[in-house]
A and B are shown apart, each in its own frame.
Chain A
Amino acid sequence: MINAAGVAVAFSALIYFRNTDRYEPVAYIAIAALILCQISFYQIVQYQNYGLIWMSMVPPFAYFLLRRKAARIAILLFFGYMLYFILSNMPRWSPAGFNAQAVFNILGASLSQLLMISYYEKTREDVWHELNGTILLMDESRNDLRLILDSSAEAIYGIDKEGNCTFCNRSCLEMLGYSNEKELLGKNMHRQIHHSRDDGSPYPEEDCRIFKAFSLGESAHTEDEVFWRRDGTSFAVEYSSFPKIKNGDIVGAVITFMDISQRKEREAEINYLSFYDALTGLQNRRCFEENRAAIDTRENLPLSVIAADINWLKMTNDIFGHAAGDELIQKASAIFRQVCRPGDIIARIGGDEFVLLLPRTSREGAMEILSEIKSLVAGVRVAAIRCSISAGVSTKTNPSQSLDDVMLDADNGMYMDKTINRKSENRQMLDTVIGDLHTKYPREKQHSAHTQKLCARLGAALKLPANDVSKLEQAAYLHDIGKIVLDRKIMEKDVYSREEISRIMQHPLYGYRILSLFDDTLDIAGYIYSHHEKWDGTGYPKGLVGEQIPLISRIIAVCEAYARVAHTQRLPAEERNPAAIHYIREGAGSQFDPQIADALIQLAGSPEKA
């Protein structure tokens, strides 16, 4: 009956297993069937023919097919029952006879054991090969992982639950100034690289964002902290921390970071430039607009405003280049800084416009400050430019006054100052430029005087209107003012390079630019521009022909050429006038207007020589 049940159970289990592939329940059933089968066998055969030797087959099967614990329980139950069975039946047993059946049982059980051992060995061998394969794959994976880690530009390190380093890549070592991974492995990374804040104050581990985040199993991202190198220097970092979770438990964290020092510096620079003027270091308009509200308080009354504008900046830029213009601005700004007190706001709100906000300063106090600024500025020279400023002052004395209105008032004062002083400023500036030219090149002063004198006589001889003669005289005196931009070395040379000739040929243009900036000389600027044009069109700067060239320019051209030869130091005194007349005669009709040349030759030949 038990055997029939064993067949039925084993058969059902086999069918079930082959249909479902569910190993574990079938394994339990199979071991149960094996044990039942053996028990029924011993019930029948008892002790006879060494049949009990088949008991030894249960443990190998149980251990092989079941989990270790389950196998032990099954074996224990089975052997417990068998012990009971043997003890309870032993008194009835007589000595077993050794016969063919006994031999069959002993050999069968031994053979079965041998097969099981072989099977075990084969299985162990397969597992060993598989394990070796897995180890090789793991080594490959580890090498790949190491390669990926080390080739990453981002620094990466791992920590365990206590915050000790478990690995780090090459970028990490390089950024932190270490040469070997062993110098970090096993060390507490917070104490090693994250112990202090940017300002050097201690950064307790319990406050550390990495530590806090991974304790909670969360990730963290920060870009406002620093890490510390081995040499004790720090650098700004952007880091991300990710918790490492194994079987549901937090076992550590992986931290990736980058050195963002350069990025921070650029951000700081951009931030600075968005609030401060790069040229002067003063506040720019944006910064001024933000700060003026803070200074516009009752406590700061009276609040004075100085609106200032640097004169002649455009001329400086046009004539002497933007480097000179920048120098002018920088020097004026330095004076503003020098005179103003801590707490005053100085801002460059336009190209040449400045605003000074002076808290707790009366109008009289502001006027004193302005006076000091003007006197210091007057001593500044850039190239041939004497620095000067136009400025207006206004004071807010009542909280109900709008600062905008006060600033507008100061602005109007500045424009009024500019307008009132325009004429004298113009005259002074022109005198400064001419004076500078003549100081630099004394020969040019004499040449200007000679040309002016000759032009006056020639203009009269040509019967020009008095007004034109006056213009002619003025233009003749200023005709070479554009040479102020030329380098002294060029002016002292006798032979010029091509570049130098090109530079010299620009002096009419610079003369035109300078003179067109002043009201008094605006109408003669055009004559200066054309005084190197030639009658035959081979002159410069425009190559005008014949009467396209203004009459005054033509007269200046003849007189200027005559004066230069007639007063040259290279010829003996008695040869100069004939040489000059010869030069003008030779150039008549080509370089010079023939009529004007003839008039000059006649004039030069008269008793009162040029």
Chain B
Amino acid sequence: MEIVLYAISALLALALLFGAILGFASIRYKVEGNPIVDQINEILPQTQCGQCGYPGCRPYAQAIANGEAINKCPPGGQATVNALAGLLDMEPQTLDAEGDEVPVTRVAFIREAECIGCTKCLQACPVDAIVGAAKQMHTVLADECTGCDLCVDPCPVECIEMRPVAVTTRTWSWPLPPNGALIATDRRGQMS
């Protein structure tokens, strides 16, 4: 009986000791990290497009922090989903969007001849990437446009279209070799 007591008291003492060390360490070496919402927000593409159902990227970041699904950001594409999964230590989900998995970078373009200068798109643009004034023709700052589509619907004369950003020799880069995930023999195996 006595020996059991010894054992228990020894274990207790050890537990207290290690607990004290851990407690000390947690206070002494506390890491002041970014709050998780900021970290999520940094991964999101900041298009502020609202396609996730939230009014902007930060609200969606907040929602993710509260348990919302991480696959609702079509502009970010699968890369964003994967990055979020990495950050939150989750299984990467597939992107919840129809059509192209790899989003093509697009920017809004105003057909200026048709623009009546109603300023409705100016108000819709979440990043102030459209310049113009009432009765003045509007134009898009292509460098600042996030391609969120939000200006397309408000236009009463439908003079805004989304145009893919052209690849030039200076933005071009080699693609990964074909079938990057497969070796030649896999390819042959698939064919046979």
Chain B associates with chain A = no
B-binding residues in A (CB < 8 A)? none
A-binding residues in B (CB < 8 A)? none
